[in-house]
Amino acid sequence: MIDVGSADARLVAADPAITGMAEVLAPLGLVQRLAPHWDVVAARVSYLRYKPGTSLVAGLVLTDSAGATSAAQALALGPGAPAKLAKVALAGEADDVGRGAVVDERAGVALSDVTADRHLPGVRRVLRRVPTVTQLVYKPGRRWVAREDHDGQAPLLVKAHRSGALRELLAGYRALQGLPVAGVVKVRERHGTITHPWVPGRPLDQVVDATAPGLWDRAGALLAQLHHRPLVDDLARVDRDTQLAAAVAAVRAVLPPDLTAEARATAERVRAGLAGRTVTRVVHGDFSADQVIVRPDLAALDVAAATEQPELTIVDLDRVGVDDPLADLASWYGALVAAADAAGDPVDVLDPLLSGYHAAGGVADPELLRLHCAAAVLQRATEPFRRHLPDWPERAARLVGTARELAS
Rounded to the nearest angstrom, the gap between the alpha carbon of residue 282 and the centroid of all alpha carbons in its chain is 20
Q: Which domains does the chain have, with CATH numbers?
A: 1-114 (3.30.200), 119-198 (3.30.200.20), 202-407 (3.90.1200.10)
For 194, the 3-state DSSP assignment is strand
Number of Cβ within 10 Å of residue 55's Cβ equals: 22
**How far is it between the farthest Cα atoms of the chain?**
66
Would you mind telling me the total number of residues written for the chain in this entry? 408
In order, the DSSP letters of 311-350 are EEEE---TT-EEE-THHHHHHHHHHHHHHHS----HHHHT
C-alpha span between 193 and 184 (Å, rounded): 11
Predicted TM-score (pTM) of the model is 0.93
Report CA torsion sign: 316, 206, 228, 321.
Answer: positive
pLDDT string in tens for the chain (408-residue length): 344 578 899 899 999 999 999 999 999 999 999 999 999 999 999 999 999 999 999 999 999 999 999 999 999 999 988 999 999 999 999 999 999 999 999 999 999 999 999 999 999 999 998 878 999 999 999 999 999 998 888 899 999 999 888 888 999 999 999 999 988 999 998 889 999 999 999 999 988 776 777 899 999 999 999 999 999 999 999 999 999 999 999 999 999 999 999 999 999 999 999 998 888 999 999 999 999 999 865 444 444 444 455 689 999 999 999 999 999 999 999 999 999 867 899 999 999 999 999 999 999 999 999 999 999 999 999 999 999 998 899 999 999 999 999 999
